[in-house]
Each structure stands twice: as structure tokens, then as C-alpha cells.
Structure 1
Amino acid sequence: MTEQWTTQDAARTLRRPTASDDKYSRGVLGVRTGSDRYPGAAVLGVEAAHRTGVGMVRYVGPERATAFVLSRRPETVAADGRVQAWLIGSGTDAAERSADETAALRALFAGEVPVVVDAGALDLVPGRSGTAPVVVTPHASEHARLREAAGLDASAADRAEAAADTAAALGVAVLLKGAETIVATPSRAIRRVESPTAWLATAGTGDVLGGILGALVAAAQPKDAEALAPLAATAALVHGHAGAAASAARDGGPITALDVAEAAASVIGRILAQADGAH
């Protein structure tokens, strides 16, 4: 199955809060990202999660990154605790990861809540133990390394087929980033999301995408990799439209990752409003 993901599809996936909701029922996202070398990744992911409408963000990371996160978003809870989803790996380097941090990240896969895996934590996915639902968010070179680790042909030319192979081999949902984002599941279902702007090809936008996806996953609390895929496709769509909106606000000019994160809330509002108008 191959499907082009649309704003109408996204509207059915987005969760609108009700009068009976509180910050816990709206979803709590645990974020374990950033490093002393790349603290900005933590800031961008946390900012994007808040702008996407999650009930709470718990940030667990290095002291320097924590200070930056709290300076930008003081409503973030800088303490471990119960969460409905995890976002890990953005702004980290597997080669510099401590044994204690590796053990802590591996333990997340043994839990019950879904895990969004980016960048410096992708190496932990092959060979992981546990049943936590997992979605990975590689770009092209990261995907090639992931395929190699899974015993697959790292030079496969067809992006969609390659993503589906990776998903099936590893038992995860795959969000393969690019001008056309591919989302694939272990059952080989494929969703395609076209980016409306090439200005997104700039540093930090992948960290923003991770935050958007983490927030959607925390709100929905999916139980398996198949259920993660619509959320991943929606995150990619919101991310792309937020990039386009941020550029439009600058007369079609260039944007920064923080611009994209800030635009996510308005994009989500418009998608939901359009869905209301269609009924």
C-alpha cells in the first residue's frame, strides 16, 4: 500500500484537547537529547514539542543543555518521571556516549511507551531488546548505516522500497527524511509526504521534526509500529507546512529551525480549522 499523505489525513490524526483534559491526559513527552557539544538540538526539539501542543515536556540531559532549554522554555520540567513517549538521540554522537547513557537508552526499549529515535541513538535500534514501539527518523546517510547494521543493502536506489525493507527487518516505523519524506511500516505500508519548500534544508530542522513527532506520539500513545506511521506522516506534513509558513512570513526568503518550530502551532490550528469547515 502506497498513500500520499494530505492535510485531511493529518487532521484525522491530530488530537484536539477537550474540556476534560489536563496536562497529563494530553500527553507527557520525555526528551533525552542534546549534548555539551550540541545543546541547541535539545532546545529546538523541546520548543517544537511545546508548539505542537503536548501537555508536558520532561527534559533529561546534560547540565549545559538543560540550562538552555529552561532559558527558552521555562515550563519544561527538568526531571525524570512518568511519560507517554520518549524522544532520544537528537544532537548526540554515539561515539561520545557514556556506558551509563547507553544503558539508560537501551532500557527505554524495554519499557512500554513508544520511542522516537533520531541521530546519535539510531545505532541502538538494531539488536535492541524489548517491545516498546519504535519509530526512527534517519536522513539518507543515517538510513544507509542503519540498513548496513540490519544486514541490508546500504546502496539500494529506491527510497520507498528501501525504507519498507528497513522497517520490516527491524520491526520499526521508518521516517526517511528528504524533499519527499517516506514513512514505512513493518507491513510495508508506505506513506509519502511532499515538502512544500526547499528552505527546510538547513541545520536544526531535523531536531524540530523530532519534537513535533514526539509530541504527537505522546498524545496518541500508539501501541505498535504500524500505529506510529500515521503520526510520523502527520509530523512530516506539519513540519513541511511550518517551513513554508515561516518562509512566507519572510516574503519567501530563508528560514531558521527555530522559525519552523514557532510556526508549527499556527499550521496545526489551520489544519484543524479546515477540517471543521469541511464538516
Structure 2
Amino acid sequence: MSSTPRVWDAGAAREWVAVPRQGDDKYSRGVLGVITGSTPYPGAAVLGVDAAMRTGVGMVRYVGPSAVTGAVLARRPEVVGGVGRVQAWLIGSGMDAQKRSPTLADELGRAVREGVPCVIDAGALDLVGDATGPVVMTPHFRELQRALAGHDSDATVDAIASDPPRWAQRGADLLGVTVLLKGATTWVAHPGSAAISVTDAPGWLATAGTGDVLGGVLGALVATHAREIETDAATAMPALAATAAWLHARAAELASGGGPITALDVAEDLPTTIAALLG
């Protein structure tokens, strides 16, 4: 494979944003299943679902504790609660794998074994190896180190921080999934392919909850491109991951205007960001 990373740009991103056609409905536009958030961290679910809806998915089905479901519905009343047919799953944001209830373990297990594409974050990264469909995992440096601990003894946080593209690729090759490695520059890698870089995100993006927004953007893109993934996951999954990171960075840039932002600011500027890209 080529070792030269590709820099993702507007032209590349534009090809991976689904525009509704005449005759589309909420089901044909993609349905995203979401199992995120927890009683200590309900905001992760609210942010991810809000971002997914604003990225253009047809429907979101949310599965979670009643209190968290209530918070999600208060923000996004169009969300449907409970399990049903989906084109993709977003799981793990705002969760702690060490505090997983039997009910949550069953819900997550069913999701990763359903065979549809999965975006796996934070508190579900230990389930990457159980997935039966295409996967993109979204770790930061420490989470990638934990995921690789049983595969490569050289995988330390310092090593990953010193050479993120190498370790994103190493993670993809060892785990057999697409890796979106979060950082000042986002790196996307897929087994056997050259890494992709997404650069120029504003420093203000380093704030609580923005990773949850990124998960929602990526989940929506994956759900709206289920056919392309079924046909050629090796091309589609890294392209969608890079596009999500690009949209996330550009929405943050728009929201910031040179000043501080919050995660919800980024989510709210996604429609304008996408409109500018498509226009």
C-alpha cells in the first residue's frame, strides 16, 4: 500500500454527503440506532442524537435508560424510542465499560452482532471484536492504547501520541476495522490502505462533548450510506469517517468565529456547514 497519507478536503467530503431525492422517505434516507449515554452522562446521548439529526439521517431510534431517553426526547422529540430496524448503530459514547448492567450488555451485544455497520466509541470499544458487520471505532490516544494492549506491547500512550498516523494504521491492521483516531489532527486508517488526515480544526474544539457530536455525525453518514457500505465497505467506511471529521471541524470553525464554543454550538452549525459544502 502507499505510505503517503491523503489529506481530506471539501471535494472529497462532498462525495459522501447523501442528498435526499424526490420520493425518498424517512426510511430510505437511513435509520440510525443509538445506544449512548448513561445516568451519570446523559449529555453524551443528547449531543450525539442532536448531531445525527442535523447531519441528515432519516430517523434515529434511541435505546437507553428512561431518564436518558427523556433527556433525548426533550431535546429532539422526533426521535423514536426503542429497538427497531436500523441501517447502522452508534454505540458507547458516555458509557463506562466497567459499569455495564446486564441489560445494557445485552443491548450492546445484540447491536454489534446484528451485522449492520457500527460506529463504536468510548465505553463500547471492548466490543469491536464481537461485531459481525463493518466497524469504525473512534478512540482518542488512551482508548486506542487500551484496545491494542493485548495485541502489541509497544502500544503506549506516549508512542501513539508521538506518531498518530502509524498507530491509527497499526490499530486498523491489528483489529481489522476502520480507525478514526481523534486528536489535533484526526487520522483515519483502514486495513491495507493509506491513512487519511483531516487537519485545521480550531483549538476551541478541544472541549467536553465534541467527541459525542462527532459520533453522531459519523453515525448519520454511515446510516445514509448503507448501500455503499454493503457494496464496498473498504472504500466507504474510511471515506465516511474522514468526511465526518471534516464536517465536524468545519462546523466548529463556523461556530467559533475565532472564539470559544461548546459542543452544542458545533451540532447546531452542522446544517449550515453541509449547505455550504453542497452549494
Q: Normalised by the shorter chain, which TM-score bucket?
A: over 0.9
Aligned 1:37-48 pairs, distance under 5 A: 37-48=40-51
Q: Residue 276 of structure 1 aligns with which residue? A: none
Shift of 1:104: 2.6
The 8 Å contact of residues 147 and 153 in structure 1, kept in 2 or not, is answered as: no
Shift of 1:99: 2.7
**Structure 1 Cα separation of the partners of residues 98 and 132 of structure 2:** 26
Moved more, 107-116 or 29-38: 107-116
- 1:206 is matched with which residue: 206, 211, 217? 211
TM-score w.r.t. the length of structure 2 is 0.93
Moved more, 145-154 or 90-99: 145-154
Q: Residue 270 of structure 1 aligns with which residue? A: 276
The 8 Å contact of residues 167 and 188 in structure 1, kept in 2 or not, is answered as: no
The 8 Å contact of residues 3 and 190 in structure 1, kept in 2 or not, is answered as: yes
1:76 matched to 2:82 = no
Shift of 1:62: 0.8
Q: Residue 277 of structure 1 aligns with which residue? A: none
**Structure 1 Cα separation of the partners of residues 13 and 32 of structure 2:** 20
1:245 matched to 2:248 = no
Matched residue type, 2:266: V
Shift of 1:103: 3.1
SS of corresponding position for 1:228: helix
**Structure 2 Cα separation of the partners of residues 113 and 83 of structure 1:** 8
Shift of 1:189: 2.4
SS of corresponding position for 1:174: strand
Q: Residue 177 of structure 1 aligns with which residue? A: 182
SS of corresponding position for 2:38: coil
**Structure 2 Cα separation of the partners of residues 150 and 99 of structure 1:** 27
Matched residue type, 2:139: P
Give unmatched runs, 5+ long, in structure 1. Answer: 274-279
1:260 matched to 2:266 = yes
User: What percentage of residue pairs aligned between the two structures are identical?
Assistant: 56
Matched residue type, 1:153: D
**Structure 2 Cα separation of the partners of residues 108 and 149 of structure 1:** 24
1:107 matched to 2:116 = no
SS of corresponding position for 2:34: strand
Shift of 1:204: 0.1
SS of corresponding position for 1:30: strand
Matched residue type, 2:178: A
Classify 1:17/1:202 alpha carbon distance in 2 versus 1 (closer, same or farther; 3 Å): same
**Structure 1 Cα separation of the partners of residues 150 and 44 of structure 2:** 25
Aligned 1:185-204 pairs, distance under 5 A: 185-204=190-209
Aligned length: 268
SS of corresponding position for 2:72: helix
1:63 matched to 2:66 = yes
The 8 Å contact of residues 29 and 58 in structure 2, kept in 1 or not, is answered as: yes
Q: Residue 150 of structure 1 aligns with which residue? A: 151
Give unmatched runs, 5+ long, in structure 2. Answer: none
The 8 Å contact of residues 108 and 132 in structure 1, kept in 2 or not, is answered as: no
The 8 Å contact of residues 113 and 133 in structure 2, kept in 1 or not, is answered as: yes
Q: Residue 85 of structure 1 aligns with which residue? A: 88
**Structure 2 Cα separation of the partners of residues 47 and 217 of structure 1:** 16
Cα offsets for 1:191-235 (capped at 9, x unmatched): 100033110000000000000000000000113354210000000
Shift of 1:152: 4.9
Matched residue type, 2:29: R
The 8 Å contact of residues 22 and 55 in structure 1, kept in 2 or not, is answered as: yes
The 8 Å contact of residues 116 and 132 in structure 2, kept in 1 or not, is answered as: no
Classify 1:261/1:149 alpha carbon distance in 2 versus 1 (closer, same or farther; 3 Å): farther
Q: Residue 116 of structure 1 aligns with which residue? A: 119
**Structure 1 Cα separation of the partners of residues 19 and 109 of structure 2:** 32
Shift of 1:140: 1.1
Classify 1:196/1:19 alpha carbon distance in 2 versus 1 (closer, same or farther; 3 Å): same
1:26 matched to 2:32 = no
SS of corresponding position for 1:13: coil
